[in-house]
Each structure stands twice: as C-alpha cells, then as structure tokens.
Amino acid sequence: MTLWYLARAAGLIAFLAATGSVVLGALASTGHRADDRSRDRRVLRQLAHRSAAVVTVAMLGLHVVLVVTDSFVDLSVPGALVPFTAGYRGFALGLGTLAAYSLAAVAVSGAARGRLAASARSARHWRALHASAYVVWLLSLGHGILAGTDTGRWWTWVLYAGCAAAVAGALVARLVVADRHESTSPLAAARRQLTTGGVR
Amino acid sequence: MRIEVDWTRCDGHGLCARLLPEKVGLDEWGFPVIDTPEIGDDLVPHARRAVGACPALALRLVPG
Amino acid sequence: MLETHPTVSRLLTAPAGTPRHRNQDELVGLAQQVRLLGRGGAGFPVATKLAAMPRGRAVQVLVNGSESEPASQKDRTLMRQAPHLVLDGALLVARALDTRHVTVLVHDPGATDALTRAVRERSDASRVRVVAHAGGFVSGEVRAAIRLVDGAPAVPPGRRVLPHESGVGGAPTFASNVETFAQLALLSSLGADGYAAIGSAAEPGTTLLTLVGDVSGPGVVEVPTGLPLAALLPGQDTDPRPVLIGGYHGSWVSDIRDLRVERPGLREAGLPLNAGVVARLSNDTCALAEVVAVSTWLAGQSAGQCGPCFFGLPAVARDAYALLHGRPSTADLDRRVAQLPGRGACAHPDGAAMFIRTALTTMTAEVEEHRRHGTCGRPWLQELPTGPAPAVRSAS
Ligand code: SF4
Ligand code: SF4
C-alpha cells in the first residue's frame, strides 16, 4: 500500500513538473528586449525549463516502476509497455503509456538540441519534434484525470484547472509575442520577404 | 574547437554573450561580435552552454 | 583612345565551334599548366576545382553570367560578342565530366538573347538551359546563383556548402564565371603553349577588364596579364589619384607604380582584382559623394538575411553621408566599418567594408575638406554607376 501512495505521488509530481517545463518552454522565446537583465532572465528561464524537464523524466520513471512493481493493482510489464492492453483501466493507462513514449522522444530531442543545429532543415524538424511536448502534456492530463485515484476530489480539479490555465496562457503569450516580433522587427520582415517570394 | 554563427539564423537575442562573455561581445543591435572564434579547452563547457542556449539554433561548436 | 593602351583581342574574337573532346585529366592538366584562375570574384584555381569534380550523368555545369555589379560590363560584353565561345567552354567541361546538364545564368537581356540564339544555332547545345534572372548584387554569388537556378530565394545559404559536393539540384556542380569558360575553350583550342604565348608567367594569357571613370577609354578591354596598371591610367604619375581595383568589393589605392594586371600579384598586394573593374575618378566630381553613393547602393544590396549586414551597412552609409555633409568625427563610421567583416553568410559585408575603409584612407584630403566645410565645392557627377548598368561599349 505504501508503494501505491508513492506511485501516485510520483505521478502527480511528474505532471506538475511537466506543466512547469511546458510553461517555461513556451515562454523561452518571449522577451525580445535587448538589455542584459532580460537576457539573463531568458537564460534563467531556459535553465528552469530544463531542470523541470529532468524532474519530469525522473518522476515519470519512478511512477512507472512503482506502478508495475506494486501489487495493489495488477499491472503486468507488457500491459504497461503496450498501450491499451492493461487490464486495469486500460484506456486511461494507454494514454499514460503513450505520454511516456512521446515524452522520451521530446526529452531526447531536448538533450540533442545542440547537435541538431547543424542545418536549417534539421532545425525546423527539431522545432516540430520538440513541440510535441504539448501533446505529451495533454495525454498526461487525460491520463491523470481518467486513471487518478483521487480524481473527483475538489483539490484535483483545482490543480488540473490551474495547470491547464497556465499552459494555455503561456501558449497564447508565446504566439502573441512571436507575432508582434515578426511585425516589428525589420530583420524578421526582411527574412520573411525572402522566403515568401520576395525573390526579385 | 571553434565557435561559428549561422548569420542567416541569428536573431540578435544576445544570450550567447551572457554565457560566454570571454569570447562574445555584442554590437549595437545585439548581434554577436567574436574577435577570435577559437575556443580553448577551459572555455569549451561554457561555449557548449552558449550553443545550447541560443534560441535561434544559430551557434555551433566545430572542431579546429 | 583605344590605341593608347596595349589591348589585345584574343578572347573576344576567337573562332568558336564544336570543341574537340578533352577528358577530365587533360583539361585539369591544361588549366594547371597555364595556372588558370576563376574570373568571377574569388579567383580560385580552375584546375583544383575541376579535379575535385566527380564525373557522370548527374553532374551539373553552371555558367555564372549574372554579373550583378553595375560597374562591371565584361561578362555581358563577352556573352554578347562571343556567345559561342562561352558555350564551347561549357560544353567542353560538360563532356569532360560525362554530363549534358549545362545551365547558363544571365542577367543582361542582350546577353540572354545572344546566348539563346547561339544555343539554337548549334546542334550540340540542345540540352543547354539559359536562365534569365533579375536578381541583385548578392544573387551573383555562386551559392546564391545555385539557389536561384533551383527556384529558391537567391540568397546564400547559412552554412558553408561546396558546389562540387552539393550544387544545382543537390548534384555535384562545376560552377564558374562566364569568362572562365571562354578562357577554357580558348585554352583547349590553342594548347597550353599557344595560350601562354602572351601574358605574365604567374597568370598567362589575357583578362577582361571593365574600365570606369577617368581612364584611357572607359568600357571593356582585353589586356595581356602582367600589363602595368599605369598603362590604363594616363597621367597617374603626374597627378596621382586613388584608383579602385576590383570594383565595389575592391580597394582604393593611390600608389599604383608597381602594380600589374595579374591576379596573383594583386592578391599578394592585398588588392584582389575580383571581377576585373578598374576605376579612377576625374578631378571634376566630388570623390566622397561617389563613395557615399556606392555605399548606399551596397547597403541596399544586403539580402536581408544576416543582422550585422542588414543593420550595419545602412548605418555605415548614413555615417558616410553625415561625413559628406560635415560631421566632424569619423569615430562611428570607423567603428561600424571595422565590425562588418566576417559577419555574414556571404562576403558582401567584407567587400563593402574594404571599399569604404580604403576610400577613407586614400581620400584623406577630400575627407578633411568635407569635415571642415561640409563640401569640397565639386558636384557629384555619378562617375561610379549605381543604377541599372549603362549601355555597353564595345571592346573592339
Ligand atoms: S544567442 Fe543565438 S540568436 Fe542570440 S545573438 Fe547569440 S547567436 Fe544570435
Ligand atoms: S551577408 Fe548580407 S548580403 Fe550576404 S547573405 Fe547575409 S544579409 Fe545577404
């Protein structure tokens, strides 16, 4: 029974850390002000983004190991590895399995970021791959709501709603800032002209 | 090792200058000024951090 | 006027026709024997470039005739007057590399017509593609030219790619300036000894130049290499004035007494000949205004890819304009010019910096006059062209 509590706690912390990492990641490319203090804030935001990501991965690993080894619910190793084959809350656990796999891909892409900067094309692919973190977050939200033992208690709803608001807010901020930057930065405008037929 | 900027991608965010001030200065528009791109062994970890921090994926550490 | 300097007419009047076949090794050997250098900007040894090429049907040959510098006329003159010789050279290279893919990139409408007509006139050029474009200065840079031919924006890529590894359509590409191809055709028909019968030892043969401003006969000339530069600039010893060598990416120099028209020697002196523009201003025009006009033009040619070039060149042009109108300090200008080199995806900022920096250091008297009085009293006569290129003057 103790393991079961630990497993739930690890899962919850993983979700909270994932939320933090997604929010910080979305905000990573906001703040185009050209003074050293805002540059330093961006560096710190990046650092926090990465740290939260590391916590997410670690807690998720713990969560998976504990859930499989615990005897309170009967979850086999193949049931955990292959999505939607677990006997206990099959659909909800399937979401969790998918989330874990996509998180692995996102984490690997994050770790290999420097190496993937080699060409313009791979940099574009990198962005697309890494942006699947938003999908990971949605999957884990679904997994948490559907599989969570505590779902239904008032504090879980406050928590999920709060996290969802934070992610949505950060995403909007990112899009707005990117848009404003595109329209106010002359270099961004010139580059866009180059790629959208301003050839001659 | 040598640090290289892909100028077609650099947005002038200037983060690299905060993480590798020994090598990277900034011009009046926030774009890096690198007088000697060669990175000594002692600075390689810092250079890697700068490469990792560049929001535009514009920096690269290359051998030589 | 033309009698006053020792021009030759070898390239522009050479007989053309289907060239005899040379294999890659023969062609490399010939180019090596006469130390043939590329006639575009960089002056790279042709033999080295050719030897690095793989052979086969996928290989591409790109003839760069985009000549986008308004002061230069030599490529369009060559294509208009000797289109068959250019095609000879291109087909010679293509055959040596076992390919039939030849693309000629042209900017000038007259040259486009001449080449298109020449392609139709011969039976061995059915696969030659003539691509006309209206791009700016930077689009003449070889990697930008490759992207232009591929239908991409005509700007250089951010990472270094070598055309002989990945050029047109991603295929290995032998790319060079039109004059290089014409010289190769001539070299193949004359043989190494015949080709080297004139010119200097370091770079035998002839070269095309475009003479601009107060020179002996402005326009395109063909001269034997090794010719003293002074032969093209009468009166330079009694009335020494800054001479521009290498066009708008080139340098101004006052003392030309030891200089000869020869790429290796000029490069050693730190004065790359680039595409072969040599200019000298008359005493009637405001030299600083000419320099400011070219600086402004150069700023407008930044492709807008790279921040330091996109922001730096216009700032430098504004500083130069302020100096023209009497700003006493050149500190901002000097600092901004010094920051340009090496900070772009192509050599445009480097070339522009070279042009402006050497202008300021050679035109000290003019600069001083403008700093003091805001004018030198002379009008701006636009001796250095910056607009659409003026009508071509024939070389012969
Ligand atoms: S961090 Fe990257 S984008 Fe920012 S100035 Fe440095 S190289 Fe350019
Ligand atoms: S250096 Fe200037 S001209 Fe060259 S690609 Fe960059 S922006 Fe364009």
Residues of C in contact with A185 (CB under 8 A): none
Residue C1 — very low, low, confident or very high, per pLDDT cuts 50/70/90? very low
pLDDT of residue A140: 93
**Does B17 contact A32 at a Cβ distance shorter than 8 Å?**
no
pLDDT of residue C139: 66
Q: Is the CB of C305 under 6 A from ligand 2?
A: yes
CB proximity C307 to A under 8 Å? yes
Rounded Cα distance between A104 and A102, Å, is: 5
Q: Which DSSP symbol is given to C205?
A: S
Rg (CA), chain C: 21
Q: Is the pLDDT at C14 greater than 70, yes or no?
A: yes
Strands of C133-178, DSSP E: 173-177
Nearest CA to ligand 1 atom 1: B54
* Tens digit of each residue's pLDDT, chain A (200 residues): 678 888 889 999 999 999 999 999 988 877 667 788 888 888 899 999 999 999 999 999 999 988 888 766 667 777 777 777 776 777 888 899 999 999 999 998 888 887 766 666 677 788 888 989 999 999 999 998 988 777 778 888 899 999 999 999 999 998 888 778 777 788 888 888 776 643 33
Q: At what angle do helices A133-147 and A120-131 cross, to 10 degrees?
A: 10
> In chain A, how many domains are there?
1
CB proximity A186 to C under 8 Å? yes
Q: Which residue, C215, C216, C196, is CA-closest to C206?
A: C196
Q: Is the pLDDT at C46 greater than 50, yes or no?
A: yes
pLDDT of residue C223: 93
In chain C, pLDDT over 90 holds for what percent of residues?
A: 60
Q: Residue B56 sits in a domain of what CATH number?
A: 3.30.70.20
- Any idea which ligand is nearest the CA of C144? 2
Query: Which of B15, B18, B52 is the closest to A113 by Cβ?
Result: B52
Q: Rounded to a whole number, what is the distance in Å from the CA of B42 to chain C's nearest CA? A: 25
Residues of B in contact with C158 (CB under 8 A): 6-9
CB proximity A120 to C under 8 Å? yes
C132-172 tens-digit pLDDT:
887 666 666 777 888 888 877 777 777 777 787 788 888 89
CA of C120 to the centre of ligand 2 (A): 37
Place of tokens 């942006």: A131
Rounded Cα distance between A104 and A7, Å, is: 19
Lowest mean pLDDT among A3-7, C55-59, C285-289: A3-7
Helix, strand, or coil here: B2? strand
Task: Please report the domains of chain C, with CATH numbers, ordered by start residue.
Answer: 24-195 (3.40.50.11540), 208-280 (3.10.20.600), 287-373 (1.20.1440.230)
User: Residue B45 is part of which domain span?
Assistant: 2-62
Lowest mean pLDDT among A155-169, C199-213, C366-380: C366-380
Q: Is the pLDDT at C104 greater than 90, yes or no?
A: yes
**Does C154 contact A119 at a Cβ distance shorter than 8 Å?**
no
pLDDT of residue A4: 82
Q: Is the pLDDT at C389 greater than 60, yes or no?
A: no
Q: Which residues line ligand 1 (CB under 6 A)?
A: B 5, 10-16, 31-32, 54-56, 58-59
User: Residue A101 is part of which domain span?
Assistant: 2-196
Q: Rounded to a whole number, what is the distance in Å from the CA of A137 to chain B's nearest CA? A: 22
**Does C153 contact A190 at a Cβ distance shorter than 8 Å?**
no
User: Looking at this protein, which amino acid is placed at residue C346?
Assistant: C
**Other residues' Cβ atoms within 10 Å of the Cβ of residue B5:** 26
pLDDT of residue C292: 95
Helix, strand, or coil here: C89? helix
CA-nearest residue to A117 within chain C is C159
Q: State the average pLDDT over residues C3-7.
A: 56
pLDDT of residue C328: 85
> In this complex, which chains have at least 3 CB pairs below 8 Å with chain B?
A, C
Rounded Cα distance between C195 and C360, Å, is: 40
Q: Is the pLDDT at C394 greater than 60, yes or no?
A: no
CB proximity C157 to A under 8 Å? yes
* Contact predicate C383/C290, CB 8 Å: yes
Q: Is the CB of C310 under 6 A from ligand 2?
A: yes
Q: Is the pLDDT at C3 greater than 70, yes or no?
A: no
The contact set of B with A (CB < 8 A) is: 6, 8-9, 11-15, 17-19, 29-30, 48, 51-55, 57-61
Q: Strands C101-106 and C128-132: what pairing?
A: parallel
